């Protein structure tokens, strides 16, 4: 699957986001090293801080399916990842992160570029 196709998956799944409060619909699609695609969306809650981002939801889904750090090749996101999600992306050692910036431009970055001097235990 190409990066463009992965982003198209993220765009398509964003329609399923549960975002009645912000109305900001985010989709994320992961590509596993064995060629599978796993999708996720943001899920909000009336108690606002309990909402979860599309990136964290899709990574949790991947872990549930048996994938861990080093086993995920790329992620495509319909928006620029927030600070907390950048730490999650760092944890899973993806090769590349493809996302659409607020300006509409699509860029590809490494997790290290997105979160320099990141925290490790």
Catalytic annotation, residues = 55
Under 8 Å between Cβ of 108 and 97 = yes
- The SS3 assignment for 71 reads coil
Closer of 37 and 51 to ligand THU (Cβ): 51
79 sits near ligand THU (criterion: CB under 6 A): yes
118 sits near ligand THU (criterion: CB under 6 A): no
Among 7, 81, 88, 90, binds ligand THU (CB under 6 A): 81
For residue 106, give Cα distances in angstroms to 8, 55, 66.
12, 17, 29
42 sits near ligand THU (criterion: CB under 6 A): yes
Rounded distance, CA 54 to CA 88, Å?
A: 12
Closer of 7 and 53 to ligand THU (Cβ): 53
Among 5, 12, 22, 33, binds ligand THU (CB under 6 A): 22
Q: Which residue has the tokens 């992620």?
A: 75
């Amino acid at each position: 699957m190409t990066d463009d196709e992965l982003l198209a998956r993220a765009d398509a799944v964003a329609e399923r986001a549960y975002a009645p409060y912000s109305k900001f619909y985010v989709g994320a699609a992961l590509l596993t090293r064995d060629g599978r695609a796993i999708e996720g969306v943001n899920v909000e809650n009336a108690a606002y801080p309990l909402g979860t981002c599309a990136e964290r939801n899709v990574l949790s889904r991947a872990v549930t399916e048996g994938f861990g750090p080093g086993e995920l090749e790329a992620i495509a996101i319909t928006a620029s990842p927030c600070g907390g999600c950048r730490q999650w992306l760092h944890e899973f050692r993806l090769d590349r992160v493809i996302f659409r910036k607020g300006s509409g431009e699509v860029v590809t970055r490494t997790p290290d570029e997105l979160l320099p001097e990141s925290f490790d235990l």
